[in-house]
Amino acid sequence: MTIKVGDRVPSTSFVKVTADGPEPVESESFFAGRRVALFSVPGAFTPTCSAKHLPGFVEKADALKAKGIDEVACTAVNDAFVMGAWGQSSGVEGKVTMLADGNAAFPKAVGLDMDGTRFGMGVRGQRFSMVVNDGVVEQLNVEAPGEFKVSSAEHMLETL
């Protein structure tokens, strides 16, 4: 079953990329008591993700925060070292928190996983964005396969 607006984010684990190395993060504590703009991409360093999705949220992070977002976070089914390298090469410092999910625990738990085995990618997260307010989904934007419209930073800004 796919998560929907009004649902509580399920209990899963991410690995947060920090200057001191990988740091485990539980979803309950990460989303507790604040408003988070989370977006999911199929993979680090992939074309649309690197050219449009992540750069859009880096560019719009301050505008999102001006509309009441406390933190902007990106998740992908990659390990913490790949997410760290991608974040560093994309200039996310101070703008976007990189959350690795190497086992696809989060997209599976929210019903937004996809089978990318045909492309040699295994199980991945679909392209989506959500606003999570104190652990509850306030806004959910799921892309149709192959599209990049509603999960963008620009769309999120327009709907906040």
- As annotated, the active-site residues are 49
Sheet holding 71-76, edge to edge: 21-26, 13-18, 97-100, 71-76, 35-41, 128-133, 136-142
Between CA 26 and CA 61 the distance in angstroms is: 23
Answer for the pair 121, 143: CB distance below 8 angstroms, yes or no: no
Positive/negative CA dihedral, 33, 126, 73, 106: positive
